[in-house]
Every structure is written in C-alpha cells, then in structure tokens.
C-alpha cells in the first residue's frame, strides 16, 4: 500500500503529473538483486582497467584535459541530471537544458531518462527495500554493485518511463539517452585526434573513474557518514568531504529534506559549487525560478525493519556498525 507521504515524496522529487496519471508505486516491490548486467560490469571494469596506463601517459596537457572534462561532466550530472532534470529546482532555456544534459551524458552514467527515473525512486523510497542503492544492503552495494543488478522496473524498457513522463516524450532527451555510450566513443576519437593516447587515457578513463566515484560516494558515504541537520527518517547525511569531491552534492541530508531546493549547502560554510554555478547562470539571465527551502522538511514514514533476505550475502562491517 502506497502511503500519501511516499506519493508526496515522488511529487516533491520532481513529478509533473500533467495529464499523465500517477504511477502505481506498488509495482516497486522489495526484491533480491540478480547480478545480470554484464555490459555495465565490463564497461565499468574497462574504465578502471584503463587507469593502469595513467602513469606512463601522464603529460600536463593531458592532466588539464582531464580536469576540464571532470568539471564539465560532473557538473553535467549535479547541475544537469540532478538539480535541473530530476528535481526541476530551477529553469533554463531549452537549448541550455540540452547542452547540460549532453555534458551529464558524457559522464557515462546511463542516459538522462534512466538516471532521473532511478533517482526519483531513490527519493521516494530512500533506505527502504525499494531503494535502488541503499547502503542498508552494504557499502559496496550502494557504491557500485547495484549497477550490475537487473531491476525489473528501472531496467525495464518501458516500465521506468512512468517516473519521467515529461522527459520520456521529449525527442532530444530520448536521443541523448539512446546514444549516451556512443557520445563517449566519439569524444574518445576527438581526444585521440587532438592529443593522442595521453588525452584518451586522461580525458576518458581517468576522468570518468574520478566522476564515477564522486557520484557513487553520494549514494554510499553520504548515506552512512556525516551529520543530519534534519530528521528525514532515512540515512542521508551531510558529509563535507563528499561535498568537496562532488561539487556540493555531499550536503545530502539537506537535499533529502528539501529535494526541490537548488541549493544543497544551507549553512554559510556548507560549500556548494553547483549552486554557485546556478547563481552565476542567474546573473547571466540564463537560470530563473530558482527554488530554495520552503516549509517543513520532507520526511518519509518511519523505517520498518529490513528483511534479512534482502541483504547482500557478504560480510559488511560498515553496514552492521551503522545499522545493526
Ligand atoms: Zn540519497
Ligand atoms: Zn536528489
């Protein structure tokens, strides 16, 4: 039975119902992971395997390409996929929405439509058995293993579209989603033509691994370590070092409390570079209707005990230390 609070959580997370009926959240049921997505596993393994060539191909120009693409693609995720597309916490002209979406797409984290659907389900069911990546299944599950498991709703060719009605009917977002892996290959060819293998190794492999772990730490570390400014009834935490690595996304408890706020750092010292960029876009007249925390923080229903069969059958000292 879906509670009103969970439905409110989905709406708060960015649903625009319009003439699309609300999804039946009962279809999201607790499930034991099946490790099936070998293509994703091999892709992520290949990105990490490429790191062995990093020392031998190091040049300062390649390093600068790495840093520039790291900033562009990580901000494509934090500003584009997350704060703009998932939560609609501000508005930009459509052309700019597509540009920042392309930047996020080049982070090779799945296309925008799937990413947004997954993240909306995470907010509606944070640290519940339906959450795609809760560390209650273990640190490594939340960090990366969940990506290799087939999810019968989120990985279904059409079932996940109910969580992204407005993106699913946008032909540009459809195109960017379908071609997201190809985009990285094209960027790799361009980098090879420009600077040879050092640019490919540092601009694709090192940079993508760097951005991966920045994003993944939000799902793992920022649901385990840090402080909670708000009682949200799930495990999200404000974590300063994750915030530094991920352009402000580590203020994750603030974000779960106020999902549609464009600002995640809410105290003066909670540095939030993504929000700085949003303010900069506003100064240029490109970002409008910037949403900030308003009213009471969002709160999920009290946590019910987790069935032990849903936990990963591997030892996990972090999980038992944090959750008992
Ligand atoms: Zn979270
Ligand atoms: Zn979010």
**Which ligand minimizes its atom distance to the CA of 222?**
1
58: tokens are: 């190091």
Q: Is the dihedral of CA 53, 56, 57, 61 positive or negative?
A: positive
Residue 200 tokens read as 């490919």
Phi, psi of 215 (to 5 degrees): -65, -45
On whether the CB atoms of residues 244 and 224 are closer than 8 A, the answer is no
CA 210, 90, 21 angle in degrees (round to 5)? 100
pTM of the model: 0.86
Contact call for residues 153 and 324 (beta carbons, < 8 A): no
Residue 21: per-residue pLDDT: 36
Q: How much is the pLDDT for 321? A: 35
Ligand found nearest the CA of 234: 1
Report the half-sphere exposure of 66 (CA within 13 A, side-chain side).
22
Q: For residue 251, what are the β-bridge partners?
A: 238
pLDDT recorded at residue 143: 95
Cβ atoms of 146 and 33 within 8 Å: the answer is yes
pLDDT score of 316: 40
Q: For residue 47, list its beta bridge partners.
A: none
- Name the residues around ion ligand 1, CB cutoff 5 A: 236
Spell out the domain ranges in the chain: 46-323
Distance in angstroms (rounded) separating the CA atoms of residues 3 and 290: 29
Report how far ligand 1's centroid is from the alpha carbon of 64 (Å): 31
214/211 Cα distance (integer angstroms): 5
Measured from the alpha carbon of residue 232, the closest ligand is 1
* Separation of CA 240 and ligand 1 centre (Å): 15
Q: Token pair 């509670």 is at which residue? A: 3
The closest alpha carbon to 120, from 83, 97, 87, belongs to: 87
Mention every residue, 6+ apart, whose C-beta is less than 8 A from residue 128. Answer: 30, 134, 234, 300, 303, 304
Q: From start to end of 24-107, where are the E strands?
A: 34-35
Q: Is 251 helix (H, G, I), strand (E, B) or coil?
A: strand
Q: State in Å: Cα 95 to ligand 2 middle.
A: 23
Name the packing angle between helices 180-200 and 171-178 (round to 10°): 50
Instruction: Give the start-end residues of each E strand in 120-269.
Output: 149-150
Cα of 97 vs centre of ligand 2, distance in Å, is 17
Output the tens digit of pLDDT for each of the chain's 324 residues.
Answer: 344 434 444 444 434 333 333 354 445 555 556 778 899 999 999 999 999 999 999 999 999 999 999 999 999 999 999 999 999 999 999 999 999 999 999 999 999 999 999 999 898 888 887 888 989 888 998 999 999 988 888 888 888 898 899 999 999 999 999 999 999 999 999 999 999 999 999 999 999 999 999 999 999 999 999 999 998 888 999 999 999 999 999 999 999 999 999 999 999 999 999 999 999 999 999 999 999 998 888 877 665 555 554 444 444 433 333 333
* Structure confidence at residue 289 (pLDDT): 96
């Amino acid at each position: 039975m879906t509670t009103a609070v969970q439905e409110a959580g989905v709406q708060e997370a960015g649903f625009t119902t319009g003439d699309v009926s609300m999804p039946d959240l009962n279809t999201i049921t607790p499930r034991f992971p099946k490790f099936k997505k070998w293509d994703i596993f091999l892709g992520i393994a290949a990105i990490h395997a490429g790191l062995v060539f990093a020392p031998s191909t190091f040049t300062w120009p390649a390093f600068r390409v790495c840093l520039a693409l790291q900033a562009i693609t990580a901000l494509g995720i934090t500003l584009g996929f997350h704060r703009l597309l998932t939560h609609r916490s501000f508005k930009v002209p459509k052309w700019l929405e597509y540009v920042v979406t392309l930047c996020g797409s080049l982070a090779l984290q799945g296309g925008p439509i799937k990413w947004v659907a997954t993240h909306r389900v995470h907010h509606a069911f944070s640290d519940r058995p339906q959450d795609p990546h809760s560390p209650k299944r273990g640190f490594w599950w939340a960090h990366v293993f969940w990506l290799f498991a087939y999810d019968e709703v989120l990985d279904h060719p059409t079932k996940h579209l109910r969580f992204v009605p407005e993106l699913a009917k946008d032909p540009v977002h459809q195109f960017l989603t379908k071609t997201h892996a190809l985009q990285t290959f094209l960027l790799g060819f361009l980098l090879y033509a420009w600077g040879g293998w050092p640019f490919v190794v540092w601009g694709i492999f090192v940079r993508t691994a760097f951005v991966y772990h920045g994003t993944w730490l939000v799902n793992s570390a920022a649901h385990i370590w840090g402080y909670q400014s708000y009682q949200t009834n799930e495990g999200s935490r404000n974590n300063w070092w994750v915030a530094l690595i991920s352009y402000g996304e580590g203020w994750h408890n603030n974000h779960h409390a106020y999902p549609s706020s464009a600002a995640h750092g809410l105290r003066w010292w909670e540095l939030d570079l993504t929000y700085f960029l949003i303010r900069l876009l506003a100064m240029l007249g490109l970002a409008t209707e910037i949403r900030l925390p308003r009213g009471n923080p969002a709160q999920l229903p009290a946590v019910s005990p987790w069935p032990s069969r849903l936990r990963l059958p591997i030892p996990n000292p972090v999980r038992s230390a944090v959750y008992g």
